[in-house]
Amino acid sequence: MKKNTPVLILCASAWLLLATACKNNAAPAAAATAPANYPVITIAQQEVMLHADYPAAIQGQQNIEIRPKVDGYILQQLVDEGAAVKKGQLLFRIHAPQYEQEVRTATAAIKRAAAEVATAKMQVKKVTPLVQKEIISNYELEALQFTLQAKEAELAQAQASLANAQTNLGYTTITSPADGVIGTIPYKIGSLVSSTSPQPLTTLSNISSVYAYFSFNEKQFLDFLQGYKGNTMKEKLSQLPPVTLILSNGVEYDEKGRLETISGLINTETGTVNFRATFPNPAGLIRSGGSAVVRIPQQHTAALLIPKKATYELQGKYFVFTVDKNNVVKSTEVMPEQAATPDYYVISAGLKTGDRVVADGIGSLQDGTTIQPVIAGAVKLRH
């Protein structure tokens, strides 16, 4: 028996080491199969003020093409591109000597016609007493009177020709028809221009106020009609709060605007309805032809909000991972509305009050995965 004692001791030690190793390996295996923690929110309705952004094209209150009415060479360019001008301010002079010649010719024709009228009057005055004394017949007096009328008509025609020549000559001096800002000037001094030139001399933009044109799709338009009180479109527009303009550099414009007009037709090609918002532009910061974003505030009385980071996009559709009572996740399609905040979507379809949604870290999830929810509660916004 003494000879077997070391063998028994060795066997017992090996058994203890094996049991300890198995116990140590079981702990990581159990940890690996435990569900991972994920933040989960519970969907609830709430009243919030959100906004919807719409790309817009900017146009001045007036965009006037300045075109020559006569043919000639640009003699003077009295303004530069981008200059602010006043109504009546001189912009261009066109060198057109033919119109100056027409004025001189018409002036000379008036003098000749006036002299012929004076001569005819003298003849009538000379013959009238002779007819009264029956020295000559009345026929000769009538003939002289008809001649006088013809000369007076020639004088009137010469005066009309002068007025027309002076008008044409006046067209060689081009002034601003309104207050505004000068656009590009494609023709420089010495360029030959005419009324048929393909480009205007310049374009004058009146930008004391600017128009922002944007569009709704048909669904957004119908939602708009149903979302505001009023029997007419004008009454509905009057209910809208002021709107904001986001400039192309991402900065919010200081002046607030208002929606004023809505197109009467739906564009059959694009399925959109055009809107126009007007913004004051006292400093001339916004120029015609620019782009911006019109931001329209929208009040939601029963909004379902989810964080944007709780969604993922696939082939133009949006999805979230909902969590059932067994803490198993499922990919669910949702439909966000246009109105949103930088961090949240308003969901119009796909979710209901009480649903649980994984709020973050969804990149590693798959359908059917069991998770350990970390309750984050319902989304709450300050407003």
Ordered domains of the chain (ranges, CATH): 36-47+301-375 (2.40.420.20), 53-60+204-300 (2.40.30.170), 68-96+172-199 (2.40.50.100), 97-170 (1.10.287.470)
Residue 107 has phi, psi (to 5 degrees) of -65, -45
Rounded to whole angstroms, the Cα distance separating 70 from 196 reads 9
Q: What pLDDT shows up at residue 293?
A: 94
Query: How far is the CA of 154 from the CAs of 144, 149, 151, 321, in angstroms?
Result: 15, 9, 5, 94
Give pLDDT, residue 48. Answer: 78
**What is the residue-wise DSSP string for 353-371?**
TT-EEE-S-GGG--TT-BE
**Rounded alpha-carbon distances, angstroms, from residue 22 to 11, 12, 15, 33, 330:** 17, 16, 11, 17, 36
Average pLDDT value over all residues in the chain: 83
Which residues of the chain register pLDDT less than 50? Answer: 1-3, 5-12, 15, 18, 22, 26-27, 29-31, 382-383
Owner of token pair 């075109």: 67
Q: What is the pTM of this model?
A: 0.59
pLDDT in tens, 107-128: 999 999 999 999 988 988 888 8
Among 59, 56, 57, smallest CA distance to 210 is for: 59
Which amino acid is it at 171? Y
Strands (E), 33-130: 36-42, 45-66, 72-77, 84-85, 90-95
DSSP-derived letter for residue 190 is: T
How far is the C-alpha of 20 from the C-alpha of 15, rounded, in Å?
A: 9
What pLDDT score was predicted for residue 90? Answer: 95
Please, are residues 255 and 280 in contact by the beta-carbon 8 Å criterion? yes
Of the candidates 157, 139, 160, 137, the residue with the CA atom closest to the CA atom of residue 149 = 157
pLDDT computed for residue 7 by the predictor: 43
Evaluate whether 200 touches 206 at the Cβ level (below 8 Å). Answer: no
Question: Residue 294: phi, psi to the nearest 5?
Answer: -90, 125
In 3D, which of 199, 212, 184 has the Cα closest to residue 61?
212
